[in-house]
Amino acid sequence: MEVGGATRAPAGHVGFCSENPSECRSQNRNAVVVKLDRERWNELLAVNAEVNRQIRPVTDVELFGVEEYWTFPSSGAGDCEEYVLEKQRVLQKRGWPKSALLITVVKDTNNSGHAVLTVRTDQGDIILDNQIEAVLPWYSTPYRFVKRQSARNPAKWAAISDHRVSTVASLSN
């Protein structure tokens, strides 16, 4: 995944950071990738499936009465951002480094904004998603990648140059 320069954070993430400053604090850390072995791979599969089962899909308008609101899924319901935040939180509790667990904004198969979790590994970027049950390398998803969190500072975001022409999202423009 070709990551470029700085870009604006999604409004929902800015609000999330103001309500959860400890989740977005820069720790001046080195960005790391995770060595992906069989145990770690199985853990990704399990966490993705577990969180996808635990959260009932509900829009922010239905749940919070606003168009866009990012939070942890304390009520057991939420949209794509709640799935991503919970997967990130669960993996961190299991010892995965935060700098390898990046919230990523994509255009989905309907060309709508969608959030997924990018897991940075020594074998490439892996995507955990609530729309597609399979855990896939980023380039195998049908999405067009737009931007993601910085690995060094979770409140900062970087643009993604996704020039692939084979994505469903790019074909629907």
CATH code assigned at 20:
3.10.620.30
Integer angstrom CA distances of residue 66 from 59, 70, 81, 99, 139? 9, 11, 14, 30, 32
What total number of domains does the chain contain?
1
What is the per-residue pLDDT for 74? 86
Report pLDDT for 97. Answer: 93
Name the 3-class secondary structure at 30: coil
Ranges of the chain whose pLDDT falls below 50: 173
For 48, the domain range is 2-171
pTM, entire model: 0.92
Query: Could you report the per-residue pLDDT of 140-162, keeping only the tens digit for each?
Result: 999 999 999 998 889 999 999 88
